Structure 1
Amino acid sequence: LWGVVDLVRDALIAVGPRWFGPRWFLVDLIGVAGTIAILRFGASAAGRFPLRVLAAFALFYAFGWIWSDLLGQFGPREEMAFWPTLFLFGYALIGLAFGVAFSAIGLGLTALILAGYLWSGEAFILWQAFVTGFGFMLCGLWMRRA
């Protein structure tokens, strides 16, 4: 799900730069709603509304906004690198408790994002769409198999 969300969001930014900024958040809201729907579909009757997942998304987004908009005042390129790596940091941390695969995903995709940030030049938006979009899709398939 998040691979498709990232791919669509970054493709929209590449095609129409006006999608960068507040509009990209609308695309992410679709991803959050989809995640909650997927979790509700597989949950027992007692756990129909996953408040912890919603709280985790809210905390990550709040932390990101504080650092990227209030304190850091990042430009578009920096924000496009920051947001996926923030969530990939979460993957790496989860890997400490749930298995090395999560840490490998987090660190591997972060390395690819940083490489694109440093060396892709004007192609960075398309690099991001490819790396985060297809990277998260492959990770989802990998985790589903595990």
Structure 2
Amino acid sequence: MIDSKQASEALAEIDDIVQRLRQSQLYELASLAALWWGVLVFAGNLVTWLWPAYAIYAWPAVDILGVGGLVAIRLLNPPQAYAAAFDIRLLLVFALFFAFGYLCTNVIGHFGPRQLGAFWPIYFMLFYMLAGLWFGTAFVGIGLGITALTLIGYFFIGEAFPLWMAFVNGGGLILGGLWMRRI
């Protein structure tokens, strides 16, 4: 027989294990998403650097493939607590996210290619860092690192800025995704 103190300690230990399992599942899905976006962003920045005239086509393709990939990741890895039914709010989040970004860059401000190349990664990383406040410091670290390197590139890298961003943003997401798989 165990007393109430031992039972309480055992329940606390079980709760701790459940919390760590949930975080590891979240990091597993987030790492897949980071790897997916990292590859796409790397390719988009390479297209922008090598063939600037095609950037206008590359970035919408990156966004559409990115969101489609996230939907697929979500559908292929449903949360264990409830059915695999798709939640339309995920698409609404992305629609609002991109609409606000478009409003800032094309309506309120008229950003050029260089400003767009800095704005979107920083904007994405804001949400990474906000997620980190709830889901773990890996998100904060990835967000701060990519934001800092983006700003360094924006102010100090010349015409090779899109190439810089391929490695900083795309490569940073890939490294961050691999890092989250090890946590």
State the TM bucket, normalised to the shorter chain: over 0.9
Is 1:98 aligned to 2:149, yes or no?
no
Match for 2:113 among 76, 87, 91? 76
- After superposition, the CA RMSD in angstroms is 1.5
Q: Secondary structure at the match of 2:124?
A: helix
Aligned runs of 1:108-123 on 2, under 5 Å? 108-123=145-160
- 8 Å contact from structure 2 (residues 75, 86) kept in 1: yes
Instruction: Please name the residue that 1:89 is paired with.
Output: 126
Structure 2: gaps of 5 or more residues: 1-35
Match for 2:99 among 51, 62, 68? 62
Structure 1: gaps of 5 or more residues: none
Q: Distance in 2 between matches of 1:143 and 1:55?
A: 26
Larger Rg: 2
Report how many aligned residue pairs link the two structures: 146
Match for 1:4 among 36, 39, 55? 39
Is 1:40 aligned to 2:75, yes or no?
yes
Q: Distance in 1 between matches of 2:161 and 2:78?
A: 38
TM-score (norm 2): 0.75
TM-score (norm 1): 0.93
Residue 31 of structure 1 and its aligned partner are, at CA, apart by 1.2
* Counterpart residue type for residue 79 of structure 1: L
What is the percent sequence identity of the aligned residues? 47
Residue 76 of structure 1 and its aligned partner are, at CA, apart by 0.4
Residue 20 of structure 1 and its aligned partner are, at CA, apart by 2.3
Residue 85 of structure 1 and its aligned partner are, at CA, apart by 0.8
